[in-house]
Amino acid sequence: MRTETPSTPGHASGLSANAPNPANRPKVASQEPKKTVMKGVPMRTAKAMDASLTMPVATTVRSVPMKLVIDQRTVINNFLKRSKGGKVSFTHIIGFAMVQALKAIPAMNNAYGEENGKPVLIENPSINIGLAMDLVKPDGTRNLVVPAIKGCEQLDFMQWWAAYEEVVKKGRTGKLGVEDFQGVTASLTNPGGLGTNHSVPRLMNGQGVIVGVGSIDYPPEFQGTSESRINELGVSKITTLTSTYDHRVIQGAQSGEFLRKMHRLLLGEDGFYDQIFESLRVPYPPAALGHRRQRPPLQSGAQGGPCRRADPGLPQPGPPHGRRRPAGVPPAHPPRTRAGDPRPDCVGPGPRVRGRHLRWRGPQLHDAARDPGHPA
């Protein structure tokens, strides 16, 4: 039998079969580090960071589901694509929610100061949002700038969006002036754009709070799950919001209420998305979470007890087996009730009426919350 052997054994992929000696390492030449005097924006940023170390700050963290925000943004951008152009980002929407939350909880817009060596509470009459921007120069160096959008409490979403884009454009083209950095009362930073889960940013002197926005993704325990399984489970992408505040003038409870307000706004409370859609002239209503859709009021029973809903489009009490009785046609068999029951017409499907547990009595539903004397 003929046996063929390689001409150069042990040289697969061009590597020798002999492992290299780890003791043979290149020599490191002794070099002095390069030192550069900081000027301009980097110098001012470094001094501001040093000054921030004198501030006693604390941080509140909250996770917010983003499913509804994603859906609303998709609807908005599809409309803009077909009409006036432009694109709304998640930071535009979250920043607008921050402004509305500051209007609802003005204590978060306060600042700390000193006069004649005495501490002073500064209550700012206007909301000036500083946008933390990471500017990359052609040589690869980065600059952190925080220009302000001033008078945000007077802006609707369209105006906020335009002011935001104007500040970003000025920053990228190097046209920011000294006046653009003055008067910041609260700041917004978005490290989530780089995939950061959440951060605790530095708060500058003269400001009350800085909000950090984390990445938008599924919770870690679901990130390895298939998309179909995630949809089946109804898992939403989330983001993490942080509120780092000056603890000398703002308390933890106020910061918690502030993030809770942002959370609720992003879930559509207080007509938040109605304001956005109206400002952009989107010709259809925004989406809403199913459990937050308003339901029609309940009709009263014979003695004022809860009964079927007033909306005729919803399922109404009718014959068994799910067949609906036409409107105006009396039932073939009147509902059986207990003697003396004050609500003989309160018959209807469903396990709850406004959160109250109901107990079956044959075809009759009895409300245990309003009729505690009824036997169980």
What CA–CA distances, in Å, run from 48 to 123, 134, 146, 203? 22, 16, 11, 9
Strand partners, 57: 246
pLDDT at site 211: 97
Question: In sequence order, which ranges of the chain are alpha helices (DSSP H)?
Answer: 40-52, 67-82, 90-104, 157-172, 227-233, 252-266, 272-280
pLDDT at site 214: 94
* End-to-end CA gap in the chain: 93
Question: Which residue is associated with the tokens 């559509």?
Answer: 268
Residues 255 and 110: their CA atoms lie apart, in Å, by 12
Return the active site residues.
Answer: 247
CA 261 to chain centre: 10
Tokens representing residue 170 in the block: 């000025």
Per-block mean pLDDT, blocks of 10 residues, the chain (376 long): 59 69 83 85 84 89 95 95 93 97 96 92 95 85 89 96 95 89 94 86 92 93 89 91 96 96 96 95 87 47 42 45 56 51 43 42 41 44
pLDDT at site 207: 93
Tokens representing residue 291 in the block: 């459990």
Domain ranges of the chain: 41-291, 297-311+352-376
Residues 281 and 269: their CA atoms lie apart, in Å, by 20
- Torsion of the alpha carbons at 67, 72, 73 and 74, rounded to the nearest 10: 90
For residues 159 and 173, is the Cβ–Cβ distance under 8 A? no
Is domain 41-291 in CATH 3.40.50.2020, yes or no? no
For residues 64 and 239, is the Cβ–Cβ distance under 8 A? yes
3-class SS of residue 290: helix
67-72 long-range CB contacts below 8 Å, 24 or more apart?
Answer: 67/236, 67/237, 68/266, 68/267, 68/268, 68/287, 68/288, 68/289, 69/93, 69/94, 69/266, 70/216, 70/237, 71/287, 72/273, 72/276, 72/286, 72/287
Question: What pTM did the predictor assign?
Answer: 0.70
pLDDT at site 330: 60
